[in-house]
Structure 1
Amino acid sequence: MSYFDGMMDEKLDLSKVRDRGSKKWVAMMLPEHVKMLREYNENMKKMPKPELDEWDLATIQEQIEIALKRNVEIEFKLWKEGEIICRVCRIERIDLNKKIIEVENIYRSFTLKIEDIVSITILE
């Protein structure tokens, strides 16, 4: 019986392997390469701006009108630089010429671009 015959019967236990993952390769790369890889990973996480059809835009418009009339808090979902951001606030004023909505939350007042809005939910 050879050495390899005995090895075939044993199972390989990978729990004892202590691999450093990608850390071991970073030491062999130039800083420029590491920077490029980090930027690439960040860009891969970003999502394209959702395409809204007429039905979605009409729903958003209705929700804005209801929230403005009732003066209730709403949750805006906004697309900013490849990410969806949620804001909870009340609508103060709408400026259609500048295409912005002036809102305020418990901390401060700010403006939102109408083109960045992805969806709206009325909170009651």
Structure 2
Amino acid sequence: MLKDRGTIKWNALMLPEHVKLLRDWKNNDEFSPAPDLSEWELEHIERMISHAFWQKCSVQIFTHEGSDRHCYEGVITKLDTNHRSLVLNGEQRISFSHIYCVEAEACD
């Protein structure tokens, strides 16, 4: 029976410098910078959040935190201007600085 060790057998052929460069390349490849929003886009997001909060509409909020992008869905239950954040569904706190897109569904 053939015992194949997979990629382990190829590691001996690689120099430590090459391994480090490959790891750095992989880490940089997964990173995506935060989108630059214009003043108009920020105003639009602000209006959408305000409207969704007062009308109790269901929203989708897209955030960018470091290299991670998340999508949150629910109803905005609180706007906290002191901490510059909002509370979604009474439990999820989202910072305004991480938000890059808001989509509101039709309100009742």
TM-score by length of 1: 0.68
Cα distance in structure 2, aligned partners of 1:87 and 1:40:
30
Paired letter, 2:102: I
* 1:76 equivalent in structure 2: 61
Q: Note the alpha carbon deviations across 1:78-118, whole angstroms, 9 max, x for none.
A: 001123211112101011111111112xxx71100000000
Tell me the matched-pair count: 100
Q: More relative contact order in 1 or in 2 (CA 8 Å, sep 6+)?
A: 2
1:67 aligns with 2:87: no
- What is the aligned partner in structure 1 of residue 100 from structure 2? 118
Q: Tell me whether 75-84 or 110-119 shows the greater mean CA deviation.
A: 75-84
* Off by >4 Å, runs of 4+ in structure 1: 22-25, 30-33
Distance 2:17 2:93 in 1: 38
TM-superposed CA distance for 1:46, in Å, is: 1.3
Residue 79 of structure 2 is aligned to residue 94 of structure 1? yes
Gaps of 5+ in 2: 1-6
Q: CA deviation at 1:31?
A: 6.4
* Structure showing greater Rg: 1
Return the letter of the residue paired with 1:92. Answer: T
Q: Which range moves more in the overlay, 81-90 or 46-55?
A: 81-90
